C-alpha cells in the first residue's frame, strides 16, 4: 500500500531556464515529494535557486495534479503568462492566481474592519483566508466587479472537487457577506446552496474542515 503524504504546499512560479519556459517548484525539503517530481520527464534541480523545475506544458501541469492529488496544495504565481495559464484548470482543480495590489489592500482593510469590531482571532484568520481564496479564484476579475455566478462557480469548481465540508461552504458565505458589506459597501445576495450537492460529492469520504483548510493556505 502506498504511503500517504501529509498535505503540504508547493509554490509554483514561471521563468526561463536556458532560454526555455519552465515551471519552478519551491517547497521545504521532502524526499517523498522529490521522488514524485523526478518521475516527470525532464525534471531538473536548480542549485542556484534551490528549486525543481519542469517544462511549462499542459501535460506537466496534468502530471503534477495527478501526482499530488489529495497530498499537496499548489500556490500558483504565474505572473507574466497568458490568462489561460493563470486561470488554468486541471482535472477539475483550479490553480489560483495571486492577488493584485488592489485586492491585497482590501484584504488588509477587511482584517482591520474585523479587529475594530472585536471579532475573535480565529474568526479573523478563517474569514481572511476564505476571502483570499475566493478572490484568487475569480481572477482576472477584482472584488469590485459584478459577482454574478462566481460563488456558484466557486462551489462547483473548487469546493466540490476537493470534497470540502458544508461547514466550509457556510463559512465562505458568511465571510463574503461580511467582506462585501463592510469593505465593498455592497449587499451580497447569496441563495442557499443545496446541502445535497455537497453531501453527494463527499459521500463516504472524509471532508476537510474549513479551519484546517485555511491553516494550510
* Contact indicator for 45, 70 with CB cutoff of 8 Å: no
pLDDT tens, per residue, the chain with 217 residues: 444 445 578 888 877 788 788 889 999 999 989 999 999 999 999 999 899 999 988 788 878 878 887 667 676 665 444 444 434 444 444 456 677 788 889 999 999 999 999 999 999 999 998 999 899 888 878 888 877 788 888 888 788 877 778 888 899 999 999 999 999 998 877 654 444 344 444 444 444 444 444 444 4
Topology of domain 101-216, per CATH?
DNA polymerase; domain 1 (1.10.150)
Structural domain boundaries in the chain? 8-94, 101-216
The CATH class for the domain spanning 8-94 reads alpha beta
Q: Which residues contact 214 (CB under 8 A, 6 or more apart)?
A: 125, 126, 129, 130
pTM of the model: 0.54
Integer angstrom CA distances of residue 80 from 16, 98, 195? 12, 12, 39
Amino acid at each position: 500500500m502506498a504511503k500517504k503524504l501529509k498535505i503540504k504546499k508547493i509554490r509554483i512560479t514561471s521563468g526561463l531556464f536556458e532560454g526555455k519556459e519552465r515551471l519552478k517548484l519551491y517547497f521545504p525539503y521532502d524526499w517523498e515529494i522529490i521522488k514524485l517530481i523526478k518521475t516527470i520527464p525532464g525534471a531538473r534541480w536548480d542549485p542556484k535557486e534551490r528549486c525543481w523545475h519542469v517544462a511549462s506544458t499542459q501535460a506537466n501541469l496534468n502530471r503534477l495534479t495527478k501526482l499530488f492529488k489529495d497530498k499537496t496544495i499548489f500556490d500558483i504565481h504565474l505572473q507574466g503568462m497568458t490568462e489561460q495559464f493563470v486561470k488554468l484548470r486541471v482535472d477539475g482543480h483550479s490553480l489560483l492566481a495571486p492577488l493584485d495590489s488592489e485586492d491585497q489592500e482590501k484584504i488588509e482593510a477587511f482584517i482591520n474592519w474585523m479587529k475594530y469590531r472585536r471579532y475573535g482571532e480565529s474568526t479573523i484568520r478563517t474569514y481572511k483566508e476564505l476571502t483570499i481564496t475566493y478572490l484568487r479564484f475569480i481572477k482576472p476579475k477584482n472584488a469590485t466587479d459584478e459577482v454574478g455566478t462566481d460563488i456558484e462557480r466557486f462551489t462547483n469548481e473548487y469546493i466540490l472537487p476537493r470534497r470540502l465540508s458544508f461547514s466550509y461552504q457556510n463559512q465562505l458565505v458568511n465571510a463574503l457577506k461580511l467582506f462585501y458589506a463592510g469593505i465593498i459597501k455592497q449587499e451580497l445576495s447569496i441563495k442557499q446552496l443545496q446541502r445535497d450537492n455537497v453531501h453527494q460529492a463527499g459521500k463516504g469520504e472524509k471532508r476537510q474542515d474549513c479551519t484546517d483548510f485555511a491553516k494550510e493556505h
